[in-house]
Chain A
Amino acid sequence: MALNLPAKRVLSGNVELPENVVVSRLDELASWCRKNSLWPMPFATACCGIELMATGAAKHDLARFGAEVFRFSPRQCDLMIVAGRVVMKMLPVLQRIWQQMHEPKWCISMGACASTGGVFDTYSVVQGIDRFIPVDMYVPGCPPRPEQLIQAIIDLQDKIQAEGTVTGREFDTSQRQLRKRALVEANALHVLDAARNPVVQRELSASVHRS
């Protein structure tokens, strides 16, 4: 079980807990909630999409893992499943949809084509979506069976439980914080260009001095 239940139901300081009280860390609780209610965004462009539909349908029943509600609006999703090849003309669409999804969000690259380009080693097909958007889980297969996709979702749930934090700290990097803060302050300055933004430059020079 994911929640860390104390072995004895007595906290330090000899506070006795009633039976209906559970103690955990907030990070674990948030991750536990999130991993069991993933909302997939089906980015299905090819035959992997058929297996994706089968995974969500009655026989394989993705509802057992709390991820059965496929939404076709990225605003309502937190798990992008890229099922199928992505051509270069589609890639800006994929990137835009990914950016429209709310955080925390995850991405599963389903099948050989989404992961590597597969047999489509041509001028028009992107050779692996992870070159252009972040990917958390890769599913091999051409197309993968629903069991494989379910395994990827289970693994993703484990990853969320292991790394997840209530504020999404696991996605944070110093670079990202720098850019976010710069955006907030630059909005007042109407300068979004990092090279000409005094806030970014100050942060950059400060980080250079620290290191």
Chain B
Amino acid sequence: MPHALPALNDVLASVTARFGGLESSEFRGETRVVVPEPQSLEVLALLKELGFDMLVDVTCVDYLEYRGAKQRYGLVYLLASTTTNQRITVRVFVDDPDPTVRSVVPLWRAANWLEREVWDLFGIHFAGHPDLRRLVMPEAFAAHPLRKDYPLQGRGERHNFPVITRDHS
């Protein structure tokens, strides 16, 4: 699909009509909508009603010291329609301290682990998530390692394990 289909423009029109001036853009056939954080759950619910029934991914970008960035974290919701094959990207920006968005688990159960992963690696809090625990890092891990201010080699977390030598094995 090189261009957004007319149906997608209808979707954008109805979303904009309901929620006012949402910033949207198109790049190489991919449509992107920027949603203010307080309205994110409602916009995503409306998009689901309008046919975007599949949540492909939830992920995040840390825009720390990125030129032109107004807020630090940009959440990315990738939606797809299983009937029309259309795709839409929803961006929600949040900022320090305590970056929080509302969980979309009530809309898509697939969001459960995706949001846990974003919490684990970026430290974004998902309000209303049923089970917001770490997904990939060890439970005792303290930091959120995909944040830009986290050092690449870590803060020595992996050096805390006991050393087994020939003496005690």
Contact = CB atoms under 8 A, between A and B. Distances in A.
A1 B79 CA distance: 69
Interface in B142-169: 145, 150-155, 157-159, 161-169
Given A88-B138, A91-B161, A132-B161, A123 B154 contact: yes
Contact of A176 (B152, B163, B166): B166
Contacts of B163: 131-132
A99 interface: yes
How many chain A residues sit at the interface, stated as a range, is 20 to 34
B141 to A, nearest CB: 9
Given A123-B158, A179-B167, 20 more contacts: A88-B138, A88-B157, A89-B137, A89-B138, A92-B161, A95-B161, A121-B153, A122-B152, A123-B145, A123-B150, A123-B155, A124-B154, A124-B158, A125-B158, A131-B159, A132-B164, A134-B166, A171-B166, A173-B167, A176-B166
A133 B164 contact: yes
A152 B107 CA distance: 55
A126 interface: yes
Contacts of B145: 123-124
A98 interface: yes
Nearest to B169: A99
Contacts, number: 58
Contact of A122 (B138, B154, B167): B154
A14 interface: no
Contacts of A175: 167
Contacts of A131: 159, 163
Nearest to B160: A88
Given A122-B152, A123-B150, A123-B152, A88 B168 contact: no
B154 to A, nearest CB: 3
Nearest to A89: B138
Interface string B2-13: 000000000000
B164 A98 contact: yes
Contact of B153 (A92, A98, A99, A122): A122
